[in-house]
Every structure is written in structure tokens, then in C-alpha cells.
Amino acid sequence: MGSVVDGVRDAAARGDLHLLGDVRAAFTDACDVVGLAGVAVLVLVLVLVRRGPDG
């Protein structure tokens, strides 16, 4: 398993547009997962703040 940069370099060296599309899709999916995790943490913090110190 390599990095996105390795995937782009490999796809460019081969001239493989399909591989480049797959690398792009994998990168986008990873960013979506990180974004959703961030939203989940934000919602959890907002719920805890709304509850107040007494719980």
C-alpha cells in the first residue's frame, strides 16, 4: 500500500488514466471519512456542552 503521491507518479509514468482516476477516488474517499469523523466529534462536543457540567 503506497501513498497518493506514489499512485499519481505510477499512473503518470504508465500514462494510465484509469489508474489515475482510481487514485483520485481513493483520496477523495479518505477525505470524506476524515470529514465525517470530524463532524461526529463536533456533534459530540456540542451535545456535551449543551448538557452542562452537571450532566
Going by C-alpha positions, the residue among 40, 35, 11 that lies closest to residue 23 is 11
Please give the model's pTM, rounded to 2 decimal places: 0.68
Given a contact cutoff of 8 angstroms between Cβ atoms, the answer to whether 26 and 34 are in contact is no
Given a contact cutoff of 8 angstroms between Cβ atoms, the answer to whether 42 and 34 are in contact is no
DSSP class of 16: -
Report which secondary-structure segment, H or E, holds 19. Answer: helix 17-51
The string of pLDDT tens digits covering residues 1-55 is 678 899 999 999 999 999 999 999 999 999 999 999 999 999 999 999 999 887 6
Given a contact cutoff of 8 angstroms between Cβ atoms, the answer to whether 23 and 15 are in contact is no
